[in-house]
Amino acid sequence: MADPTRKRVVVTGLGVVTPLGQGIGTFWENLSSGQCGIGQVTMFDTGGYACTIAGEVRDFDPTPAFPSPKEVRRTDRFTQLGMMAGWEALNDSGLDFDRVNRDRVGAFIGSGIGGLSTLENQHKTLLERGPGRMSPFFIPMMIINMASGMFSLYHGLRGPNVATCSACATASHAIGEAWRTLVMGDADAMFAGGTEAAITPVALGGFAAMKALSTRNDDPQHASRPFDAERDGFVIGEGAGVLVLEELEHARARGARIYCEIAGYGNTADAYHMTSPAPGGEGGARAMRMALNSGGLNPEDISYINAHGTSTPQGDACETQAIKSVFGDHARRLAVSSTKGATGHMLGAAGGVEMAVCCKALETDTVPPTINYETPDPDCDLDYVPNEAREMEVNAIANNSFGFGGHNACLVAKKFTG
């Protein structure tokens, strides 16, 4: 159970860069109205690929988040997306770095894959032009910690700094571990989330080789269809989601606007298979129970679950089973939706963007829809908020993220009450 004497943690800023738009206002409006950001891949020629569709971030300009255009050129796209999401979160929070102790402000911004585009381009240079023509920035551009590191560098943040990497659970783990850092009193504010830019030739080919991707290439707007009986795999997306988490008294002292309170966090391993979930979603179920317990919440306290819901046949069914095993009869009264029908699966960034969705659900008493839900699946028999957003009382939420390697994360949050 939650310790009533422990420090409380609230969310005061949201930053997103997604296939549905940049900035929490634009993104939330497009998501709530049922729009879809998936289309044909434009970043490279997809001739010969089994899958030719993705959720790209179009017309992206990272320069506002960097000191100069030269610094932009020295970073991979995943770092650029993460920097911009952090910049959006900073602006949304109203935090003034000149009025806080920068020794006590940190960043946990992770990535599941990191600078894959840089790796591909530099490998091509190596083969075609030799090692002497490789960029001296190759390694720092590629490595997964660079979004977190560069955000702290450019803003002079000297507090805790870690880059999580747990596949599709990355951002949720980053937020959960940032929450722990604040609860323990090791920081006053944390920027936490994830970023991913893995729409590249190698990634698209590799995920397709696993038979993980949808091949509904002629109808990209309806390809990602979580929990629908006709789902045939996920659609890869790119983007970033970063939240500003603050210790409550720190937020109060500066008069911050508070979205919600992070109440608990669960982190488990399946210890079962490299890519497949444990039978019945057992590992995910334990993460949900752990999060509820650490937050001092009962299953019936939860109003809405933002599901991992990737649109894969096995994953969606296992998550449904996990929810039913944790919530029992209350599972039938829960609103459960997956926003990946609209954005695609942003891999290591997914949990960050989806936690921002949960914060908006708590703020607005509105839950976003699962778009493209048309044909019920007997194995997926919960209320998935099909196709239209729903106004309802949202008092507490759970956000699920599950990753290859058997990584499971669950975050629970609730309406802030003084």
Q: Which two tokens stand for residue 209?
A: 């080789």
- Mean pLDDT (the chain) is 97
Residue 418: per-residue pLDDT: 79
- Amino acid at position 374, single letter: E
Q: Which residues are catalytic?
A: 168, 308, 345
pLDDT, tens digit, 9 for 90 and up, residues 270-294: 999 998 999 999 999 999 999 999 9
Contact 149, 111 (CB under 8 A): no
* CA gap 289, 13 in Å, rounded: 27
| Residue 322: its H or E element | helix 313-327
**pLDDT (mean) for 106-133:** 97
**pLDDT (mean) for 84-91:** 98
- Is there a shared CATH topology between the 9-253 domain and the 265-414 domain? yes
For residue 286, count other CB atoms closer than 10 A to its CB: 21
Contact 310, 340 (CB under 8 A): yes
Residue 1: per-residue pLDDT: 59
**pLDDT (mean) for 242-255:** 98
230: Cα separation from own chain's centroid:
25
For residue 413, count other CB atoms closer than 10 A to its CB: 29
Domain boundaries, the chain: 9-253, 265-414
pLDDT, tens digit, 9 for 90 and up, residues 184-212: 999 999 999 999 999 999 999 999 999 99
Q: Whats the size of the chain, residue-wise?
A: 418
Tell me the pLDDT band of 5, cut-offs 50, 70 and 90: confident
**pLDDT (mean) for 381-406:** 97
Label residue 21 left, alpha or beta by phi (over 0 means left) and psi (-120 to 50 means alpha). left
Percent of the chain with pLDDT over 70: 99
Burial of 166 (0-12, 13-18, 19+ CB in 10 A): buried
- The CATH architecture one would assign to domain 9-253 is 3-Layer(aba) Sandwich (3.40)
Q: Which CATH class is domain 265-414?
A: alpha beta
Residue 230: per-residue pLDDT: 97
What stretches of 39-191 show up as alpha helix (H) in DSSP? 69-73, 77-93, 116-129, 138-142, 146-155, 170-183
pLDDT, tens digit, 9 for 90 and up, residues 52-86: 999 999 999 999 999 999 999 999 999 999 999 99
Angle at 209 between CA 320 and CA 21, to 5 degrees: 65
**pLDDT (mean) for 138-164:** 97
| Residue 390: its H or E element | strand 390-391
pTM: 0.97
pLDDT, tens digit, 9 for 90 and up, residues 332-345: 999 999 999 999 99
Residue 36: per-residue pLDDT: 98
